[in-house]
Amino acid sequence: MCNAPGDLQLQDRHEPESPPEGWAVVAVSHVGICGTDFHIFEGKHPFLNYPRIMGHEVSGTVLEAGTGVPLAAGQRVIVNPYLSCGVCTACRKGKPNCCMAIQVLGVHRDGAMCERILVPGHNLYPADGLSREEAAGVEFLAIGAHAVRRSQGEPGARTLVVGAGPIGLGTALFARIAGYDVTLLDLDAERLRFAARDLGFATLEASAENAAETVRDASHGEGFDLVFDASGNTRSISQSFSYVAHGGALVMVSVVNDAISFSDPEFHKREMMLIGSRNATRDDFDHVVLSIRNGRAPLSKLITHRTTLSGAVSDIAHWAREKKGLIKAVIKVSEAG
């Protein structure tokens, strides 16, 4: 079993003892693969200690619940992979997503690319109304939903999302749901065609050398009220400061293992806000579930690649090198999960 807490001794890995109070054993059904997993595979993630079992976008079925967990065996669930301490300053403020001692499944502790996982009961949300595959996609969309909520934008805000990968597309979807006027910027023409054709977004294609000029022309020299950087690229993040209109805000959605620099005079003359966005909360998960159910977040269009747990060994290595046509990949772990 993956992710057993340190004080839980498993005498038999095939037949684990009952979960401790407040925890539940979940049979894993599907696991999404995201940019974080590729960064982990390539040794580029800033918060990771190796060795590590990956997998943080998870759906499954409760096998057994410990005392105090209000879920019955057989309940299909979405896993919130952010395990928080509950007592630090962030947790006391209702922000467990940036807990000082956070343990993210698949990053700080072993994740769900396995058959069963042990999870705190309060990190499990009912997956009613969603397919097992859809339930595994809630977490990555919640990242974008949280970033949009953090932006404090208003309907009609001229919005630029930098990066048309899964997190950028999710951010763009929830910015549109919030009523923002959304444009996507990327260097990848194929991803932009997908965003325009399949999701109906306005797009800007640029090279690394002419991105600033492209944004300037598209915004009539003013910049955008809101800029979300979901590029996962150091140079792109630094460049995104120049895309923000006077009085606007830059939301950093992606994280890189590097220092980010910007011009202080340019930052101040714009009186712009710089907002960090990390993970997501229960409210964001609930918002995503509702948006999938009502068709406003067309998750099925984003899932382009599928594999099995055994196939993932070679497929992840291949997709880390070759991302042509890839938006979101999902691992089917079991039928029963």
CATH number for the domain that contains residue 62: 3.90.180.10
**Res 337: pLDDT:** 54
Same domain, 69 and 127: yes
Confidence (pLDDT) at 44: 72
Output the pLDDT for position 5: 60
Phi, psi dihedrals of residue 265, rounded to the nearest 5°: -60, -40
Do both 56 and 159 map to the same domain? no
Domain that holds residue 302: 23-136+298-332
Please count the structural domains in the chain. 2
> Cα 180 vs. chain centroid, distance in angstroms?
20
Mean pLDDT by runs of 10 across the 337 residues of the chain is: 52 58 97 89 77 94 96 97 97 97 93 96 97 97 98 97 97 98 97 97 93 96 98 94 98 90 95 97 98 97 96 94 92 80
Q: In terms of domains, do 99 and 56 share one?
A: yes
User: Which pairing describes strands 23-33 and 328-332: parallel, antiparallel, or unpaired?
Assistant: antiparallel
* 307 in any annotated domain: yes
Indicate whether 35 and 154 sit together in one domain: no
Q: Cα angle vertex 311, ends 305, 314, to 5°?
A: 90
Instruction: Specify if 9 maps to a domain.
Output: no
* Domain identity same for 69 and 126: yes
pLDDT at position 256, please?
84
Whether residues 107 and 172 fall in one domain:
no
Q: What pLDDT sits at residue 4?
A: 62
Residue 287 lies in a domain: no
CB 68 within 8 A of CB 22: yes
Q: Does residue 110 sit in the same domain as residue 32?
A: yes
The answer to whether position 283 is within a domain reads: no
Q: Which residues of 223-239 are buried (b: 16+ CB within 10 A; e: fewer)?
A: bbbbbbbbbbbeebbbb
